[in-house]
Amino acid sequence: MTERKPYSAYRPALYDAIYVRRIRPCVVAAEIGLNSKAVWHHVRRLVRECGEPPPCQCGRPGAHDGICNGHNAENNPRCPHCDGTSKKCGRAEMADGWKEQRYRCRSCGASFCRSPKKVAKFDDYEGRVYDMIWHQGEKQEYVATVLGVHVSSVQSWVRLLKVKYGSPYAKANRESGRKAAA
Protein backbone atom coordinates (compact mmCIF):
# COMPACT_ATOMS: atom_id res chain seq x y z
CA MET A 1 0.00 0.00 0.00
CA THR A 2 1.42 3.37 -1.00
CA GLU A 3 1.83 6.08 1.59
CA ARG A 4 -0.37 9.15 1.15
CA LYS A 5 1.47 12.42 0.68
CA PRO A 6 0.42 15.44 2.72
CA TYR A 7 -1.34 18.40 1.15
CA SER A 8 1.88 20.44 1.30
CA ALA A 9 3.47 18.05 -1.22
CA TYR A 10 0.75 18.80 -3.78
CA ARG A 11 0.32 22.52 -3.09
CA PRO A 12 2.96 23.89 -5.55
CA ALA A 13 1.70 21.73 -8.41
CA LEU A 14 -1.91 22.63 -7.64
CA TYR A 15 -1.17 26.35 -7.42
CA ASP A 16 0.69 26.28 -10.73
CA ALA A 17 -2.04 24.30 -12.49
CA ILE A 18 -5.05 26.18 -11.09
CA TYR A 19 -3.81 29.78 -10.75
CA VAL A 20 -1.08 30.05 -13.40
CA ARG A 21 -2.00 27.62 -16.19
CA ARG A 22 -5.79 27.79 -15.50
CA ILE A 23 -6.38 24.07 -15.80
CA ARG A 24 -9.60 22.56 -14.49
CA PRO A 25 -9.27 20.38 -11.37
CA CYS A 26 -10.43 17.21 -13.12
CA VAL A 27 -7.50 17.54 -15.54
CA VAL A 28 -5.09 18.31 -12.69
CA ALA A 29 -6.10 15.03 -11.02
CA ALA A 30 -4.57 13.02 -13.85
CA GLU A 31 -1.46 15.21 -13.87
CA ILE A 32 -0.52 14.83 -10.23
CA GLY A 33 -1.83 11.31 -9.71
CA LEU A 34 -4.69 11.83 -7.28
CA ASN A 35 -8.31 10.89 -7.60
CA SER A 36 -10.63 13.75 -8.50
CA LYS A 37 -12.33 13.86 -5.09
CA ALA A 38 -8.99 14.46 -3.35
CA VAL A 39 -8.04 17.14 -5.88
CA TRP A 40 -11.33 19.00 -5.38
CA HIS A 41 -10.73 18.89 -1.63
CA HIS A 42 -7.18 20.25 -2.06
CA VAL A 43 -8.36 22.96 -4.49
CA ARG A 44 -10.95 24.20 -1.99
CA ARG A 45 -8.26 24.31 0.68
CA LEU A 46 -5.94 26.17 -1.68
CA VAL A 47 -8.66 28.73 -2.41
CA ARG A 48 -9.19 29.31 1.32
CA GLU A 49 -5.43 29.79 1.86
CA CYS A 50 -4.92 32.15 -1.07
CA GLY A 51 -7.83 34.33 -0.05
CA GLU A 52 -8.98 34.86 -3.61
CA PRO A 53 -10.54 32.41 -6.01
CA PRO A 54 -8.53 31.32 -9.02
CA PRO A 55 -9.14 33.02 -12.36
CA CYS A 56 -11.76 31.10 -14.26
CA GLN A 57 -10.62 29.20 -17.34
CA CYS A 58 -13.58 30.47 -19.33
CA GLY A 59 -12.72 34.14 -18.87
CA ARG A 60 -16.07 35.13 -17.36
CA PRO A 61 -15.80 37.75 -14.63
CA GLY A 62 -16.41 36.61 -11.08
CA ALA A 63 -15.25 33.74 -8.97
CA HIS A 64 -17.81 31.03 -9.68
CA ASP A 65 -17.26 29.82 -6.08
CA GLY A 66 -13.60 29.37 -6.86
CA ILE A 67 -14.16 26.49 -9.24
CA CYS A 68 -15.40 26.52 -12.80
CA ASN A 69 -18.00 23.75 -13.13
CA GLY A 70 -17.88 23.44 -16.89
CA HIS A 71 -20.34 26.25 -17.62
CA ASN A 72 -18.14 27.52 -20.43
CA ALA A 73 -19.44 26.71 -23.88
CA GLU A 74 -15.89 26.57 -25.29
CA ASN A 75 -15.41 23.10 -23.78
CA ASN A 76 -18.78 21.77 -24.92
CA PRO A 77 -18.99 20.38 -28.44
CA ARG A 78 -21.04 21.96 -31.23
CA CYS A 79 -24.28 20.25 -32.18
CA PRO A 80 -23.79 17.79 -35.07
CA HIS A 81 -27.36 18.51 -36.27
CA CYS A 82 -27.46 22.31 -36.43
CA ASP A 83 -23.94 23.44 -35.30
CA GLY A 84 -25.45 25.25 -32.29
CA THR A 85 -23.96 25.57 -28.81
CA SER A 86 -24.63 22.85 -26.26
CA LYS A 87 -24.84 22.23 -22.53
CA LYS A 88 -24.23 19.12 -20.45
CA CYS A 89 -27.36 17.10 -19.80
CA GLY A 90 -26.27 13.87 -18.09
CA ARG A 91 -24.36 10.69 -18.75
CA ALA A 92 -25.17 7.69 -20.88
CA GLU A 93 -24.02 4.14 -20.27
CA MET A 94 -22.71 2.53 -23.42
CA ALA A 95 -23.12 -1.14 -24.33
CA ASP A 96 -19.50 -1.85 -23.40
CA GLY A 97 -20.01 -0.45 -19.88
CA TRP A 98 -18.32 2.92 -20.36
CA LYS A 99 -20.17 6.05 -19.35
CA GLU A 100 -20.12 8.98 -21.71
CA GLN A 101 -21.09 12.62 -21.20
CA ARG A 102 -24.28 13.64 -23.01
CA TYR A 103 -24.97 17.14 -24.31
CA ARG A 104 -28.15 18.95 -25.36
CA CYS A 105 -28.21 21.57 -28.10
CA ARG A 106 -29.46 24.96 -26.94
CA SER A 107 -30.91 25.69 -30.41
CA CYS A 108 -32.59 22.52 -31.70
CA GLY A 109 -32.81 20.50 -28.45
CA ALA A 110 -31.11 17.39 -29.86
CA SER A 111 -29.01 15.32 -27.44
CA PHE A 112 -25.68 13.79 -28.46
CA CYS A 113 -22.29 12.56 -27.24
CA ARG A 114 -18.96 14.30 -27.85
CA SER A 115 -17.75 11.48 -30.10
CA PRO A 116 -20.60 11.13 -32.57
CA LYS A 117 -21.46 7.69 -33.82
CA LYS A 118 -22.59 7.16 -37.38
CA VAL A 119 -26.36 7.31 -37.41
CA ALA A 120 -27.94 4.74 -39.69
CA LYS A 121 -30.28 6.61 -42.04
CA PHE A 122 -33.09 4.86 -43.90
CA ASP A 123 -32.24 6.59 -47.18
CA ASP A 124 -28.67 5.21 -47.10
CA TYR A 125 -29.77 1.59 -46.59
CA GLU A 126 -33.16 1.42 -48.33
CA GLY A 127 -31.93 -0.29 -51.50
CA ARG A 128 -29.79 -2.87 -49.71
CA VAL A 129 -32.51 -3.75 -47.18
CA TYR A 130 -35.09 -4.06 -49.96
CA ASP A 131 -32.81 -6.30 -52.00
CA MET A 132 -31.75 -8.54 -49.10
CA ILE A 133 -35.23 -9.06 -47.66
CA TRP A 134 -37.54 -8.83 -50.68
CA HIS A 135 -35.35 -10.53 -53.31
CA GLN A 136 -32.93 -12.70 -51.37
CA GLY A 137 -35.34 -13.61 -48.56
CA GLU A 138 -32.81 -12.99 -45.76
CA LYS A 139 -33.86 -12.69 -42.11
CA GLN A 140 -33.87 -9.28 -40.44
CA GLU A 141 -31.23 -10.33 -37.89
CA TYR A 142 -28.85 -11.35 -40.68
CA VAL A 143 -29.46 -8.10 -42.56
CA ALA A 144 -28.69 -6.10 -39.40
CA THR A 145 -25.44 -8.01 -38.90
CA VAL A 146 -24.34 -7.52 -42.50
CA LEU A 147 -25.17 -3.81 -42.51
CA GLY A 148 -23.70 -3.24 -39.03
CA VAL A 149 -26.86 -1.70 -37.57
CA HIS A 150 -29.22 -2.70 -34.78
CA VAL A 151 -32.05 -5.13 -35.48
CA SER A 152 -34.62 -2.55 -34.38
CA SER A 153 -33.39 -0.23 -37.15
CA VAL A 154 -33.94 -2.94 -39.76
CA GLN A 155 -37.37 -3.71 -38.29
CA SER A 156 -38.46 -0.07 -38.56
CA TRP A 157 -37.11 0.12 -42.13
CA VAL A 158 -39.03 -3.03 -43.07
CA ARG A 159 -42.22 -1.41 -41.74
CA LEU A 160 -41.54 1.61 -43.96
CA LEU A 161 -40.81 -0.61 -46.94
CA LYS A 162 -44.01 -2.63 -46.37
CA VAL A 163 -46.00 0.57 -46.75
CA LYS A 164 -44.08 1.43 -49.89
CA TYR A 165 -43.85 -1.97 -51.63
CA GLY A 166 -46.19 -4.34 -49.77
CA SER A 167 -45.19 -7.35 -47.70
CA PRO A 168 -42.08 -9.24 -48.84
CA TYR A 169 -43.69 -12.45 -47.67
CA ALA A 170 -46.94 -12.06 -49.64
CA LYS A 171 -45.52 -13.61 -52.82
CA ALA A 172 -44.01 -16.59 -50.97
CA ASN A 173 -47.22 -17.11 -49.02
CA ARG A 174 -49.34 -17.00 -52.19
CA GLU A 175 -47.10 -19.62 -53.81
CA SER A 176 -47.28 -21.93 -50.79
CA GLY A 177 -51.03 -21.41 -50.30
CA ARG A 178 -50.72 -19.79 -46.85
CA LYS A 179 -52.50 -16.64 -45.78
CA ALA A 180 -50.32 -13.50 -45.74
CA ALA A 181 -49.71 -11.93 -42.35
CA ALA A 182 -50.87 -8.35 -41.94
Q: Closest Cα partner for 53 from 75, 71, 68, 42?
A: 68
Confidence (pTM): 0.37
- pLDDT surpasses 50 at 67: no
CA distance 162 to 140: 13
Q: Which has more confidence, 72 or 124? A: 124
* Mean pLDDT for the chain overall: 75
- pLDDT surpasses 90 at 148: no
Q: Which has more confidence, 93 or 72? A: 93
**pLDDT at residue 141 in the model:** 92
Count of CB atoms situated within 10 Å of the CB of 93: 9
**pLDDT at residue 65 in the model:** 44
Pairing of strands 86-93, 111-113: unpaired
